[in-house]
Chain A
Amino acid sequence: MQASNKGMAISAHGLTRRFGDLVAVNDLDLEIPAGGVIGFVGPNGSGKSTTIRMLLGLIKPDEGEGSVLGASIADPNAYADRVGSLVENPALVLNISARANVESMALLRGVPRSRVDDVLATVGLDDRADDAVADYSLGMKQRLGIAIALLSDPELLLLDEPTNGLDPAGIVEVRGLIRQLADGGRTVVVSSHLLSEIEAAADYLIVIRFGELLFSGPLHELLEHEQRFVDVETEDGSDRETLAERYRSMGLEVEPENGGLRVLVDPDRAGDLNRAAIDLGIVLRRLVPRSETLEDVFLRMTAGSQDAPLNRVAA
């Protein structure tokens, strides 16, 4: 049975892949809408690359089903011409020119020769196209990888960590290119282990951890998961516990934070917190209303799993 995919660029249900005893992707359900930039985020080892490889037909799922542009992932030949990809580091032949690399892939994909120049220009490498790739910087290799992904003018681009190893300027540049591609009508799925790298460009977000879906939806919906709080610090450290007890008696949740207290409360109630301290004769050194950033939300959602190895054992 083919997964339901109406209006979806990618759809998957129960996608599971094990490598021996390790479960890289576990019963993953995905519904990725067509159009725009889709951020595919999770810590290292969370199963992003394995998922992308399954969608590209590079590896087969052990269980589950999926579709890409309406065609089953069991038959990647049905959509290969409409999908471009960059999986992990750019795969390039170093001792030939960038143009020869692109031409080799153009011949395999059967695209017109004119596309070679087009894609090299798109990524800004046309004037260095005849240089050996071995002489390229990491950023240039990354852009060349994107050029190859663009060869067939695909509807769907799957870019796995496209900003890996880039300097801040390179990241901005690739981010801009991704935005341009999406504005041209494509669906661009960008995976990253850092939300901050793609939040500026993404319209829709998928967050996974340990191969399982944590969040899927428009970016603004993730912000609804944000926590708001007030950081409080007493001038005299010995007053901290007294003040914490007082806040708890007010029905508030209090956590120690960097020598002070973090009170999980709407920042609009900062005045109440101050008044409670004054009532006890405690002088505050700091009273800072704060909200989580998107990155904080992401880190909290994926807590304890940064750089986690594939350490789940199959049931």
Chain B
Amino acid sequence: MTTLLHTPDRKAPAPVETTVPSEGVGKRTLPGAFRSEAKRLTRKSFTGVGLALVVFFSLMAAVVTFFAGGEAGPGAGVAVDLESAQGIVAALSMAGNLVGIVALSLWAAAVASDYSTGWVRLMVAAEPRRWRLLFGKLVALSGFTIVATLVTTAIAVAMAYLLAGPAGVSTAAWSAGVVGTVLSAWLNFTLAVLGWGVIGFTVAVISRSAIVAIAGGIGYMMVFEGLLGLLAESATTYLPGTVLNAVAAGGTAVMAYGTAVLLATGFVLVALAVAFAVFAPRDITS
């Protein structure tokens, strides 16, 4: 037996198994890579902070939508007629970019923390097929994001009913096809937020730094696209922020929904291809 040490953090180790299996005891699977990620993502500091931010921005978007007429400045979503059938989910359209930034930040933090903790060493040594690691993380983060968008949607709809009266908005048109309207809005919103998440994911894979990824993502959206849009709106039509905004809103006056989804899919696929291409051959020196 190993020497016993009588300090509070030490106890006698158990005897070690004396037989060693020739092939190891593990059987690595793709679902295992996802579940491993999900296990670490469900920590309070990640899900707690993430959901708190989502709730905060959802409430803010709802208030802005009903009391500021949707004129919230750079980064705000697309304003809709509150008294139309879409009025019930108007806050979702407004929250698209705000929650998108939260998603970008959380996805970037999840990727970058693997480097800051050195966990990436363990992951790659345990599963050398690196695409599985990225895929597992992608699926886990997508699952977390879908939960977040469900929460956002629930808040947006509840707040719509709560704020309509005080804001003097008629809800007469809201009841027609309400389930379809909400589901459709949730889907669009989710697709847009996932798009933002993938951007954060890719920048973090490249930079290995949450700060660089978050600052870069927010700076691009708020400063570059935001200011460029103020100078020449047409110049930003096909840029990621505007395209994802159009997806969240279910299409805009300048971009049809189908076009927006197609472009967003293209951006996401390119971003993922870059992430996989960078990570697969990278030296793990962290």
Chain A interface: which of B35-43, B51-59, B222-230? B35-43
Number of A-B contacts (CB under 8 A): 182
Q: Which residues of the partner chain B approach A94 to less than 8 Å between Cβ atoms?
A: 117
Q: A104's closest neighbor in chain B, by CB?
A: B39
| Choice from B12, B23, B129, B285 contacting A59 with Cβ under 8 Å | B285
Instruction: Give A56's nearest chain B residue, CB to CB.
Output: B125
Closest to B118 in A: A91
Q: Smallest distance from the beta carbon of A88 to chain B beta carbons, Å?
A: 7
Given the known interface contacts A93-B43, A103-B39, A124-B10, the answer about A176 and B25 at a Cβ–Cβ threshold of 8 Å is no
- What residue in chain A is nearest B29 (Cβ atoms)? A110
A15 CB to nearest chain B CB (Å): 15
Complex: A172 Cα to B3 Cα, angstroms: 7
Per-residue CB contact flags for chain B residues 203-231 toward chain A (1 = under 8 Å, else 0) read 00000000000000000000000000000
Q: Does A315 contact B (CB under 8 A)?
A: no
Complex contact A53–B285 (CB within 8 A): yes
Q: Known contacts A80-B127, A85-B125, A184-B20; is A107 also within 8 Å of B32 by CB?
A: yes
> A169 near B24 (CB under 8 angstroms)?
no
Chain A residue nearest to B119 (CB atoms) is: A91
A121 within 8 A of B: yes
Q: Is the CB of A124 within 8 A of B14?
A: yes
Tell me the smallest distance from the CB of A8 to a CB of chain B, in Å. 16
Would you call A76 an interface residue if the criterion is a C-beta within 8 Å of the partner chain's C-beta atoms? yes
Contact flags B13-40 to A (C-beta < 8 A → 1, else 0): 1111111111111111100110111011
How many B residues touch the partner, as a band? 35 or more
Check A124 against B127 for contact (C-beta < 8 Å).
no
Would you call B27 and A100 a contact (CB within 8 A)?
no
Shortest CB-to-CB span from B148 to chain A, Å, is 20
Cβ distance B6 to chain A, nearest Cβ, rounded Å: 9
Roughly how many angstroms separate A59 CA and B40 CA in the complex, as a whole number?
25
A75-B124 Cα distance, complex, nearest whole Å: 12
Per the bound structure, the CA–CA distance linking A83 and B122 in Å amounts to 11
Bound-state CA distance A103–B109 (Å) is: 21
Chain A interface residue count, Cβ-Cβ cutoff 8 angstroms: 66
- For B121, the chain A residues whose CB sits under 8 A away are 58, 85, 87-88, 91
Q: Which residues of B contact A109 (CB under 8 A)?
A: 26, 28, 32, 126-127
Nearest A residue to B6 by beta-carbon distance?
A: A169
Q: Does A128 contact B (CB under 8 A)?
A: yes
Q: What 0/1 pattern do residues 73 to 85 of A give for CB contact below 8 A with B?
A: 0011100111101
The yes or no answer to B277 lying at the interface (CB within 8 A) is no
Residue among A81, A108, A128, A176 with most chain B CB within 10 A: A108
Indicate whether A93 sits within 8 Å of B12 (C-beta atoms), given known contacts A59-B285, A108-B33: no
Of the A-B pairs whose beta carbons lie under 8 Å apart in the complex, a sample of 28, sorted by A's number, is A57-B124, A57-B125, A59-B283, A60-B281, A77-B128, A81-B23, A81-B25, A81-B28, A85-B125, A92-B118, A93-B40, A95-B45, A100-B40, A105-B122, A110-B27, A110-B32, A121-B13, A126-B11, A152-B24, A153-B20, A153-B24, A155-B21, A169-B5, A176-B1, A176-B2, A180-B15, A184-B19, A185-B19
B residues with a Cβ closer than 8 A to A are 1-3, 5, 7, 9-29, 32-33, 35-37, 39-40, 43-45, 113, 117-129, 136, 281, 283-285
Which A residues contact B (CB, under 8 angstroms)? 53, 56-60, 75-77, 80-83, 85, 87-96, 100, 103-105, 107-112, 115, 118, 121-128, 136-137, 139-140, 148, 151-155, 169-170, 172-173, 176-177, 180-181, 183-186
Known contacts A57-B128, A93-B113, then 10 further A-B pairs from the complex at CB < 8 Å, ordered by chain A residue: A81-B23, A81-B26, A108-B123, A125-B11, A152-B24, A155-B21, A155-B24, A169-B10, A173-B13, A176-B1
